[in-house]
Amino acid sequence: MEEIYDAIIVSIDYDDGLIDYYEKELANLCEANDINRVYKIRQKLDKPKVGYFVGMGKLDEIKMVATTYDINLVIFNDELSPSQIRNIENCLDLEVIDRSMLILNIFASRAKTSEAMIEVSLAQYKYMLPRLIGLSKSLSRQGGGFNAKGPGETQLELDRRKIEKRINKLEADLKQINISRQNRIKKRSDKTVALVGYTNSGKSKIMNALIDLYQDNKKKVLSKDMLFATLTTSNRKITFPDNQSFILTDTVGFVSKLPHHLVNSFKSTLQEITEADLILHIVDCANPNYKLQIDVTNKVLEELGCKDIPILYVYNKCDLLDEQFFPEEENSIMISAKTGFNLKLLAMTIKKMILNEVTTLELFIPYDRGDLVSKLKENENIIRMEYLDNSINVLATIKNKNLHIYEAYKKSLD
């Protein structure tokens, strides 16, 4: 039977041992765009060639494969420069797209809220602007394999000036959204914990599992085995049985080589992360390349300016591990959102890290320890205070980390 392909995917093997991973990830990104059958071509290079991304011999091979299998679409596994797109299109006379465009297109098809739609459109326009000439061919081609979901109108009808105007408008809209988000965040009195990590690592499932544990009537979020299931942040209040609570935030997942414009325009949504009191960095420890995924996530966190926020590494999906697994980081925990393994421990660890736990104590402080009374007034919550003959009797809730200071005065002095 003759083999049928929807597209050729072209990757550079940088000789870093990651080519299989990147190729598979690109195939997944293609699948999310309904491009299911891909013919893989790779070339070993130190860095992409300036003019055509790959060498001329490789381009001939691409051409030959395209003719043999009647393929109209070629997808490159890095972001192509505007001139590379133009050159390759002219040379191959095929529809040419790159990794960034695939990712942008998935975001565009998944965006549901107006904020996410504005963010994706902005990233798409910014990506398109310098590439108008090259892209016009790809986007105008009928019957190609790539079903581009543009930011609304037919891109061809929009000239550069119109796109620039649109970008300005979208940026202004985002600024507005940003201001109201910031006001909302400022008003929050609860501590916040953000779930952050690579796409498909299980952030949303963990959120749902914690909702199940502590909040049975709360609305769940979408958790699904697909890339970028979550595009908007969702907040849920988690309340412990002792009534202490915090806000849990589920955020959009990351992927390697995320288009720069996309990270930038999603800064508004991702602001929830920068304002968090604790970041839960979710890692899919069953993924053989989890270390690469940790690095990608940490780089985005750095770009967002989160280096001062405490991080707890949460190694999820441990139910899928065949062998023993030892996380490198000290501040880490192994869990399974699916089986519930260590979920309560996770909740308790969060509690310890962000909520200042307190104990109510009755103290009898001698008059010569006025310094302790001042300390109590300054740092703790005094419920009742009474001056006795030879001591001051205080009932107070005291932060556990300070308990040792008052230990000696817990008993009656009489």
Ligand X SMILES: Nc1nc2c(ncn2[C@@H]2O[C@H](COP(=O)(O)OP(=O)(O)OP(=O)(O)O)[C@@H](O)[C@H]2O)c(=O)[nH]1
Q: Please identify which residue in 293, 336, 342, 349 interacts with ligand X, judged by CB under 6 A.
A: 336
CA pair distance 226, 33, nearest whole angstrom:
11
Q: Which does 349 bind (CB under 5 to 8 A by kind): ligand X, Mg ion, none?
A: none
Check binding of 338 to ligand X (CB under 6 A). Answer: yes
Output the CA angle 146-201-151, nearest 5 degrees: 30
Q: Are 147 and 33 in contact (CB under 8 A)?
A: yes
189, 235, 290, 347, 356 from 214: Cα distances, Å: 20, 15, 29, 10, 19
* Shortest reach from residue 112's CB to ligand X, in Å: 13
Q: Are 119 and 174 in contact (CB under 8 A)?
A: yes
CA pair distance 382, 334, nearest whole angstrom:
39
Check binding of 158 to Mg ion (CB under 5 A). Answer: no
Which span sits near Mg ion by CB under 5 A: 56-64, 197-205, 304-312, 380-388? 197-205
In the three-class reduction of DSSP (H, G, I as helix; E, B as strand; rest coil), residue 174 is classed as: helix
CA pair distance 120, 104, nearest whole angstrom:
7
Q: Which is nearer to Mg ion, 204 or 249 (CB)?
A: 204
Check binding of 319 to ligand X (CB under 6 A). Answer: yes
| Residues 203-232: x where in contact with Mg ion by CB under 5 A, - otherwise, as a string | xx------------------------xx--
* Shortest reach from residue 191's CB to ligand X, in Å: 22
**What secondary structure letter does DSSP report for 409?**
G
> Mind giving me the DSSP string for 288-301?
TTHHHHHHHHHHHH
CA pair distance 122, 166, nearest whole angstrom:
8
* Shortest reach from residue 285's CB to Mg ion, in Å: 17
Check binding of 199 to Mg ion (CB under 5 A). Answer: no
Check binding of 121 to ligand X (CB under 6 A). Answer: no
Check binding of 320 to ligand X (CB under 6 A). Answer: yes
Q: Which does 107 bind (CB under 5 to 8 A by kind): ligand X, Mg ion, none?
A: none
* Shortest reach from residue 226's CB to Mg ion, in Å: 9
Of 54, 64, 131, 127, give the one whose Cα is nearest residue 88.
54
| Residues 236-275: x where in contact with ligand X by CB under 6 A, - otherwise, as a string | -----------------x----------------------
CA pair distance 377, 356, nearest whole angstrom:
17
CA pair distance 132, 281, nearest whole angstrom:
38
Q: Are 268 and 299 in contact (CB under 8 A)?
A: no
* Shortest reach from residue 296's CB to ligand X, in Å: 12
Check binding of 325 to ligand X (CB under 6 A). Answer: no
Burial class (CB in 10 A: 0-12, 13-18, 19+), 373: middle
Of 297, 267, 230, give the one whose Cα is nearest residue 123.
267
* Shortest reach from residue 325's CB to ligand X, in Å: 13
Token duo for residue 396: 């107070």
Q: Please identify which residue in 22, 76, 146, 228 interacts with ligand X, judged by CB under 6 A.
A: 228
Residues 6+ apart with CB under 8 A from 221: 204, 207, 208, 230, 234, 236, 250
Q: Which is nearer to Mg ion, 110 or 131 (CB)?
A: 110
Check binding of 33 to ligand X (CB under 6 A). Answer: no
| Residues 181-220: x where in contact with ligand X by CB under 6 A, - otherwise, as a string | ----------------x-xxxxxxx---------------
Check binding of 293 to Mg ion (CB under 5 A). Answer: no
Check binding of 333 to Mg ion (CB under 5 A). Answer: no
Q: Please identify which residue in 317, 343, 361, 409 interacts with ligand X, judged by CB under 6 A.
A: 317
Q: Which is nearer to ligand X, 79 or 250 (CB)?
A: 250
Q: Please identify which residue in 122, 229, 276, 294 interacts with ligand X, judged by CB under 6 A.
A: 229
Check binding of 316 to Mg ion (CB under 5 A). Answer: no
Q: Which residues bind ligand X (CB under 6 A)?
A: 197, 199-205, 223-225, 227-230, 253, 316-317, 319-320, 336-338
Q: Which residues bind Mg ion (CB under 5 A)?
A: 203-204, 229-230
